[in-house]
Copies of this chain bind each other. A is one copy, B any other.
Amino acid sequence: MNAAITEILPAEAVSAPVLAADLARRHVADIVVSLNEYEAAFVAAVLLELPRALAADVLDQPELSRMAAILKAMPLDRAVGLIEEMSADRAADLFRYDLSEPERHRFVAKLDAATKAELVCLLAYPEHSAGAIMTTEFVSVPDDWTVARTLEHVRTVERSRETVYAIYVVDPEIGTLRQAVSLRRLIAAEPGAPVGSAAARREPVSVSPLTDREEVARLIAKYNLLAVPVVDEKQCVLGIVTVDDVIDAMIAETTEDVHKLGGMEALGLPYREIGFFSMIHKRAGWLSVLLLGEMLTASVLQHYEGALEKAIVLTLFIPLIMSSGGNSGSQATSLIIRALALRELAPGDWWRVALRELPTGVTLGAILGAIGFVRVVLWQKLGFYDYGEHWLLVAATVGAALLGIVTFGSLTGSMLPFVMTRLGFDPASASAPFVATLVDVSGLAIYFSIASLILSGTLL
């Protein structure tokens, strides 16, 4: 009942202590959903009423919006206390993305030495790398410990670790990673046996701090892991990336990819939170570039102006033919982008894809060409429109142009993600609008070349 009440009460009607008392009984994810509805200053007041560990847990949720504004609305020492309590990877996000210069300095000056040192380490890793999303709160034990001693250790540190389901067995002298033991195997193992006896005999899967988060996600999904250790060149464990960080990263990557596929910069913020001018900025850039590219179509048409004047009937089919090229290109691009992301295809497979897309494109083009041909013939025969005495040649031109352009579109669309990868861009930048623009310009040239071939001596 109470939960329902707070959800519908406006900020003015509920005091921070009352809301805090009600929220304290709910799941942290639900607390975040509630708090996102209130102003930052009020959220700050509520957080200060919550038990400190829970408040830090709320701040740890990536779904909480306006984290920086909330912390800025608190007395400095309380905010700093919460930052010290937060998980290190989230605190690093705060400093990396949310705080701008004067505040960053104000907070850093007050942080304790341990938190500061940890932040410096995490912030040194590039954005979206395993190092940047890892947590340093994991369990590792020397390999001369027994199963019982390890379990006892897990019991003591359970509260302070992000996960205890994967335990890393390290060399007692030099600290290098030897084995990974799952908690489930550990509790099923003989208490007196060495901890390593519960480990799989295989070498543990690990990543470098520079590994991209997409690759980390791929490994976790492939090996069904709950966490993957991040090790340095000497194989010492620096931290771990847990499956829930990876799920968050996967969701963020998918959002980025969908935005890019739509022909814009990734927003980086929820739709309802992004400001008007940031939104314009993210969208106008690509739209303008595409417009400039598309201006080439005007130049191509200028070049064929003579043909257009003689055979105005050709104009009627320009949009239809152009868009079919764009559509077949955007199909092929999405297919290949996804296959590359899933590693079903490697960058070196471009020639396999070309060999496959060529017959596919020809077949699709033949189908569309036939439809286009029939359309012209039908309209002529049914008397919807008179394409002139050479109507059969016009129909043949439309059909042949569709065949050519769909083939060209499928090939171009499928090769573009490979070209992007080769140039060091994200293949998802080969968006549908980008492919369509590319194909439009060359599509017009194909259309008019075919027209002058078929219609020369009659219409042209």
A248–B221 CB distance below 8 A: yes
B436–A276 CB distance below 8 A: no
Measured between beta carbons, the chain B residues less than 8 angstroms from A248 are 221
State how many residues of chain A have any CB contact under 8 Å with chain B. Answer: 115
B309–A323 CB distance below 8 A: no
Measured between beta carbons, the chain B residues less than 8 angstroms from A297 are 319-320, 323
B222–A25 CB distance below 8 A: no
Question: Does A336 count as interface, using CB distance less than 8 angstroms?
Answer: yes
Question: How distant is A68 from chain B, measured CB to nearest CB, in Å?
Answer: 20
Stretch among A168-176, A228-236, A365-373 lining the B interface: A365-373
Question: How distant is A416 from chain B, measured CB to nearest CB, in Å?
Answer: 12
B27–A251 CB distance below 8 A: no
A264–B335 CB distance below 8 A: yes
Residue of B nearest to A336 (CB): B271
Residue of B nearest to A328 (CB): B287
A323–B345 CB distance below 8 A: no
Interchain CA distance A279-B436 in the complex, whole Å: 21
Give 1 or 0 for each of A218-256: 1 = CB within 8 Å of chain B CB: 001111101000000000000000011011101100110
Measured between beta carbons, the chain B residues less than 8 angstroms from A437 are 323, 327
B319–A262 CB distance below 8 A: no
A312–B308 CB distance below 8 A: yes
Question: Does A99 count as interface, using CB distance less than 8 angstroms?
Answer: no
Residue of B nearest to A270 (CB): B344
A262–B324 CB distance below 8 A: no
Residue of B nearest to A200 (CB): B27
Measured between beta carbons, the chain B residues less than 8 angstroms from A372 are 291
Question: How distant is A306 from chain B, measured CB to nearest CB, in Å?
Answer: 10
Give 1 or 0 for each of A15-52: 1 = CB within 8 Å of chain B CB: 00000000001110100000000000000000000000
Residue of B nearest to A284 (CB): B367
Q: Known contacts A271-B339, A432-B263; is A247 also within 8 Å of B244 by CB?
A: no
Interchain CA distance A92-B334 in the complex, whole Å: 30
Question: Does A377 count as interface, using CB distance less than 8 angstroms?
Answer: no
Stretch among A77-85, A107-115, A152-160 lining the B interface: A152-160
Interchain CA distance A318-B322 in the complex, whole Å: 11
Residue of B nearest to A290 (CB): B327
Interchain CA distance A352-B363 in the complex, whole Å: 44
B338–A316 CB distance below 8 A: no
Interchain CA distance A246-B221 in the complex, whole Å: 10
Question: How distant is A267 from chain B, measured CB to nearest CB, in Å?
Answer: 7
Report 17 cross-chain contacts, Cβ distance below 8 Å, ordered by A residue: A27-B200, A63-B222, A154-B188, A255-B342, A259-B334, A262-B330, A262-B432, A271-B344, A288-B368, A290-B323, A291-B368, A295-B375, A302-B385, A322-B322, A323-B326, A326-B436, A330-B433
